Amino acid sequence: MIKNTVTCCAASYGISSCQGPRVVMSGKEVILLCSNNYLGLAEHPGARSGCPRCPGALRCGVRRVASHLGNMDLHEELEQRIAGFKGAEAAILFNSGYAANTGAIPAIAEERDVILSDELNHASIIDGCRLSRARTVVYRHRDPDHVESLLKEHAACRRKLIVTDGVFSMDGDIAPLPDLALLAERYDAMLMVDDAHGTGILGKRGRGTVEHFGLEGRVHIQMGTWARPLAPSAPTWRATAG
């Protein structure tokens, strides 16, 4: 009998070794049967030397999508540090802001739900709303009164999601987050903020629009990226408040 075999769906585990027929996962050596490392090139010295600042055992990556094979320990450490930075319960990495919004919004809302979206929201939010198949209702730009009337109108929906940019990239104005947070609490809705243009800019510690308004713990989901103020090119993440 083969013991300690990994076949699929290892996303909840961290890999702390280079990829080969056997890997170390959560501190235990297991046989790996779900990798795309068909030719064994992950262990090739040329591939492993490509990132000289990373520990030798971690230079090769996981060689498959995270939903199948999980993350490296470094990924999970980074997610934990992002969650700490944002004061959130947890965080998850995406490879772009577009991927974050089109991945997260459909995971939150579906056909029985309603999404209230600012009319000047980023295109990635709009596409995420479309992919969710939830009923999407566009509210007037930065207009909490309109949001409240729509929440009343759709009170019977299973789940209500208010989604807005924190800082709107074209005009540079800021969403009225205190009003939106109050409405979300009053009408049992979720509040999601795309803070790609606020992180690193607003707040005493650069934590974005939520910190800027002192709303820690009152915004359910924040999306952010390092590609704007913090680095020329970097991953995108999404943090959840609970």
Q: What is the reported pLDDT for 38?
A: 61
- Does the model's pTM come out above 0.85? no
What is the tens place of the pLDDT at every residue in 32-80?
877 766 667 767 777 666 565 555 544 445 555 666 556 777 888 889 9
- 40-46 own/partner pairs: CB under 8 Å, 24+ apart: 42/18, 43/18, 43/19
Q: Which two tokens stand for residue 23?
A: 């890997």
For residue 190, what are the CA distances in angstroms to 27, 106, 113, 177?
Answer: 37, 14, 11, 12
Q: How far is residue 97's CA from residue 154's CA, in Å, rounded to a whole number?
A: 29
Q: Which residues pair with 223 in a beta bridge?
A: 194, 238
Q: How far is residue 242's CA from residue 232's CA, in Å, rounded to a whole number?
A: 30
Q: How far is residue 7's CA from residue 31's CA, in Å, rounded to a whole number?
A: 9
What is the tens place of the pLDDT at every residue in 126-179?
999 999 999 999 999 999 999 999 999 999 999 999 999 999 988 999 999 999
The values of phi and psi at residue 218, to 5°, are -115, -5
Q: How far is residue 211's CA from residue 201's CA, in Å, rounded to a whole number?
A: 11
Sheet with 190-194: list strands edge to edge.
90-94, 236-240, 221-225, 190-194, 160-165, 114-118, 135-139
Better pLDDT: 111 or 237? 111
